[in-house]
Amino acid sequence: MTNRLRSLRRLLVACSLLVLCALISASPAVAAVRLAGDASGTGAPLIELDATGEAFFAWDANRPPDGTIPGRIFDPRHAEFGLSQAMIGLTATGRRSRAVMRIWRGWTPSVIWSGEPAGPVDWSLMREANAGFRLDDPGNCEGARRGAGTWLEAGLFGSPIGLESVYARDNWLWSGALLNVAMPFYVAGARLSHPLGAKTTAEIGLYGGWTRLSASNIPSTFIARVYGERDWGLWQVLLSSAPTRPDLDRTGAGQVRGWLLDGFASAKVNDDLELAAQLNGGFESWTLEGDGRMGLWAATNVWARYKLNDAWRLGARGGLFWQGGDRDILLRPTGSFDLGRLWWPTERLIEAAVALEYKPVPSVMLRIESRVDHSADAIFVRHDGSLEQLRPTVSFGMAWTL
């Protein structure tokens, strides 16, 4: 009875949030706050407000006993109504400066920040917190907001790796792809970006540890990328390197470092059909008993989305994640480290998913998704404690955007 009451309470909270947000979005007074300021370049900075609320219900056919669906950030709980996230953010843009602050709560930030060690600061409230200075002159505030420019920025950023967003509202399906869930969702440090053309930008950044703010957060991660937007879609090529196992006893394996090459492109085939693909590859390297070791991995995802009419869309995604090469199991009193396995305890993982989306109005989205994951090894926990290679799931998501 306690679990049923808890699920009912979560459902009421999620529905109340979405209803409240829908009412707010209908208010012209609030809509006017999205862009305010003096575009002449001499007055107040431009202020933009961003907010979203996302809720879900998910069902895992394996019925895991602890209710957790591993590897999911938008629908991480089985047989529960939950709040994926409630986010509110502000962006202030002056003639040659800008600042971003976004805070959030819900299951999505809880899962994303679960790898952080306990400390005096609860970083999970923060989605982004950064500020920057434009090195070239944009002319006025409106030009600063629209133009690419040359920017030097520092703070907490959303990770630029991968095609999918940390907001389900911006993705083509509800659940996150295998490939993107394995990558970090945030970085903290400084970055410099410079336009290479009207629609192409180069960026290089130096950040702290790989998804780590509270410990081992030294400038040790670099990310360099070139990205752009064309009439047909988006593209990016990215290279990154970082220490990937900051908790590992370095006397046992030396420093474990990972390298990543990421590339993606999306294309609008016609008014109704869109396609996208992403390809990643990389390796981890470490030293054990004087010998150098290397663990390779590669992954890909493909997407398709078809517009049925103005309100309905059909989306599909397929993905493959493979990891091989050397492996070392290091035992410590607090547990074991499986070096050479980037994320999941298996060599190969495949996913296939299809989703139907309905947007009655631009600010509200409803989406239902059916997905099957298949692992080379039995890694998915069933209700009786046994392990299974297959994981069929169904998710229903609701999202509101200001």
pLDDT tens by residue, 179-192: 888 888 899 999 99
Q: Is the pLDDT of residue 345 over 60?
A: yes
Looking at residue 29, what is its pLDDT? Answer: 34
Position 335 confidence tier, pLDDT thresholds 50, 70, 90: low
Position 98 confidence tier, pLDDT thresholds 50, 70, 90: very high
What does pLDDT average to over the chain?
A: 83
Cα of 116 vs its chain's centroid, Å: 16
220-230 per-position pLDDT tens digit? 889 999 999 98
Looking at residue 383, what is its pLDDT? Answer: 95
293-319 per-position pLDDT tens digit? 788 899 999 999 999 999 999 999 999
With beta carbons less than 8 A apart as the criterion, state whether 49 and 43 touch. no
Q: Is the pLDDT of residue 67 over 90?
A: yes
- Structurally, how many domains does the chain consist of? 1
Position 258 confidence tier, pLDDT thresholds 50, 70, 90: confident
Token duo for residue 54: 């996302």
Task: Read off φ and ψ for residue 22, nearest 5 degrees.
Answer: -65, -40
Q: Lowest-confidence range among 70-74, 137-141, 257-261?
A: 137-141
Higher pLDDT, 82 or 26: 82
Q: How far is 267 from 64, CA to CA, in rounded Å?
A: 38
Looking at residue 145, what is its pLDDT? Answer: 56
Alpha helix ranges (H) inside 191-249: none
Q: Is the pLDDT of residue 2 over 90?
A: no
Task: Read off φ and ψ for residue 5, nearest 5 degrees.
Answer: -65, -40
Position 217 confidence tier, pLDDT thresholds 50, 70, 90: low
User: How much is the pTM?
Assistant: 0.84
CATH code (residue 157): 2.40.160.10
Alpha helix ranges (H) inside 63-193: 107-112, 141-146, 178-181
Range of the domain at 244: 2-401
Looking at residue 249, what is its pLDDT? Answer: 53
Q: How far is 146 from 140, CA to CA, in rounded Å?
A: 10
45-60 per-position pLDDT tens digit? 789 999 999 999 999 9
151-189 per-position pLDDT tens digit? 999 999 999 999 999 999 999 999 999 888 888 889 999
Higher pLDDT, 329 or 125: 125
